[in-house]
Amino acid sequence: MKPHIFGTGVNLPFADNSFDLVTCYSVIPYVDDIDTFLNEMFRVIKPKGIAVIIIMNLRGLALHPNEFHPNKYNSKQLQQKLNQHGFNSIKHKNLKTLFYSTYFDFSSVYAYAIVTPEK
């Protein structure tokens, strides 16, 4: 049975601190109101929860020049934006995660963030 819950990233139909894990794959470049979107993500994740965020980085977005992307970030810019909304990187807590995410940031068209909320 499929869940019957529908919402947008700027108005999630969930209570505060609902989730241990939030994933966001290739969404952020297309979000019109990124600040509200990230505030909602922060609101629904539990204090010790984890968010895994994967986006097309600047190289990836350049492959789609005719698409509108209101949010264009490289890995460092993405982390800075997440920090503004209370998220802290935890990639450094696992050497494999740090190595592979850093490698793919430099060698592919994606940027990665693994963060936890500072609540």
pLDDT band at 70 (very low <50, low <70, confident <90, very high): very high
> pLDDT by residue (tens digit) across 87-98?
999 988 888 877
> With 90 as the cut, is the pLDDT of residue 79 above it?
yes
CA 6, 33, 20, 26: dihedral to nearest 10 degrees? 80
Higher pLDDT residue, 23 or 103? 23
Are the CB atoms for 45 and 81 separated by under 8 Å? no
> With 80 as the cut, is the pLDDT of residue 1 above it?
no
Are the CB atoms for 75 and 98 separated by under 8 Å? no
Among 12-21, 39-48, 79-88, 101-110, whose mean pLDDT is lowest? 101-110
Query: Bridge partners of 76?
Result: none
Are the CB atoms for 20 and 50 separated by under 8 Å? yes
pLDDT of residue 111: 86
Give the integer Cα–Cα distance in Å for 32 and 98. 30
Mean pLDDT of 81-92: 93
Give the integer Cα–Cα distance in Å for 108 and 10. 29
Domains and CATH numbers, the chain: 19-117 (3.40.50.150)
